[in-house]
Structure 1
Amino acid sequence: MESAVKNTTTAMAEIMHMVVDNYNELVEHTKDPTVDSWLLMSSPWPVFSILACYLYFVLYLGPKVMANHKPFQLTGVLIAYNFVQVIFSIFLAYLPFQESAFSYLINNACSAHRTAEFSRALSSGAWWYFFAKVTELLDTIFFVLRKKQSQVTFLHVYHHTITVIFSWVYLKYIPGEQGIVIAFLNSLVHVAMYTYYLIAAMGPKYQKYLWWKRYMTWIQLIQFCLMVAYMLGLLAYDCKLPKALTLFFVGNSVVFLFLFSDFYRKAYVKNKPKVN
Structure 2
Amino acid sequence: MALVLKRIIRGYFWLFNEMKDPRSDDFYLASSPFQPIFIGVSYLYLIYKILPEFMKNRPPYKLDKILIIFNLTQVLVNAYLSFNAMLEVQTLSWSCAIIDFSDTPHNRFILRLTYVYFLTKLADLLDTVFFILRGKQNQVSFLHVYHHFGMIGLGWIGIRFVGGGHSIFLGLANTFVHSIMYFYYLLTVWKPEYKASIWWKKHITQLQLLQFIFFFFIYGQLLFKPDCQYPKIGPFIIVPQSLFMMVLFGDFYYKTYVKAQKVNK
TM-score (norm 1): 0.81
Deviation of 1:269 after TM superposition, in Å, equals 2.0
User: Do residues 196 (structure 1) and 204 (structure 2) align?
Assistant: no
Q: Is the 8 A contact 2:95 2:221 kept in 1?
A: no
Task: Return the letter of the residue paired with 1:204.
Answer: P
Which residue of structure 2 lines up, in the alignment, with residue 228 of structure 1?
A: 216
Deviations 1:153-184 (A, max 9, x none): 01101100110111112312343522100011
Following the alignment from structure 1 to structure 2, what is the Cα–Cα distance between the partners of residues 47 and 110?
27
Q: Is the 8 A contact 1:29 1:174 kept in 2?
A: no
TM-score (norm 2): 0.84
1:74-113 → structure 2 map (5 Å cutoff): 74-97=63-86, 100-106=87-93, 109-111=96-98
Give 1 or 2 for the bigger CA radius of gyration.
Answer: 1
Which residue of structure 2 lines up, in the alignment, with residue 46 of structure 1?
A: 35
Following the alignment from structure 1 to structure 2, what is the Cα–Cα distance between the partners of residues 52 and 104?
38
Which residue of structure 2 lines up, in the alignment, with residue 14 of structure 1?
A: none
Q: Give unmatched runs, 5+ long, in structure 1.
A: 1-23
Following the alignment from structure 1 to structure 2, what is the Cα–Cα distance between the partners of residues 215 and 247?
29
Q: Percent identity?
A: 33
* 3-state SS in 2 of match to 1:171: helix
Deviations 1:234-254 (A, max 9, x none): 333442322231121111111
Which residue of structure 2 lines up, in the alignment, with residue 17 of structure 1?
A: none
Q: Is the 8 A contact 1:199 1:209 kept in 2?
A: no
Deviation of 1:60 after TM superposition, in Å, equals 1.5
* 3-state SS in 2 of match to 1:271: helix
1:188-267 → structure 2 map (5 Å cutoff): 188-207=176-195, 211-238=199-226, 239-267=228-256
Deviation of 1:229 after TM superposition, in Å, equals 1.3
Q: Give unmatched runs, 5+ long, in structure 2.
A: 1-13
* 3-state SS in 1 of match to 2:262: coil
- Residues 94 and 244 from structure 1, CA distance in 2 versus in 1: closer, same or farther, beyond 3 angstroms? same
Deviation of 1:149 after TM superposition, in Å, equals 0.5
Following the alignment from structure 2 to structure 1, what is the Cα–Cα distance between the partners of residues 176 and 140?
23
Following the alignment from structure 1 to structure 2, what is the Cα–Cα distance between the partners of residues 233 and 187?
22
- Residues 160 and 27 from structure 1, CA distance in 2 versus in 1: closer, same or farther, beyond 3 angstroms? same
Alpha carbon RMSD of aligned pairs, Å?
Answer: 2.7
Q: Choose from 23, 27, 32 the match for 1:34.
A: 23
Deviations 1:46-80 (A, max 9, x none): 33332222211111111122121000010111111
Deviations 1:18-38 (A, max 9, x none): xxxxxx99987682x231111
Which residue of structure 2 lines up, in the alignment, with residue 12 of structure 1?
A: none
Deviations 1:157-216 (A, max 9, x none): 110011011111231234352210001100000011001101111143444556321111
1:117-132 → structure 2 map (5 Å cutoff): 117=104, 118-132=106-120
Q: Is the 8 A contact 1:30 1:119 kept in 2?
A: no
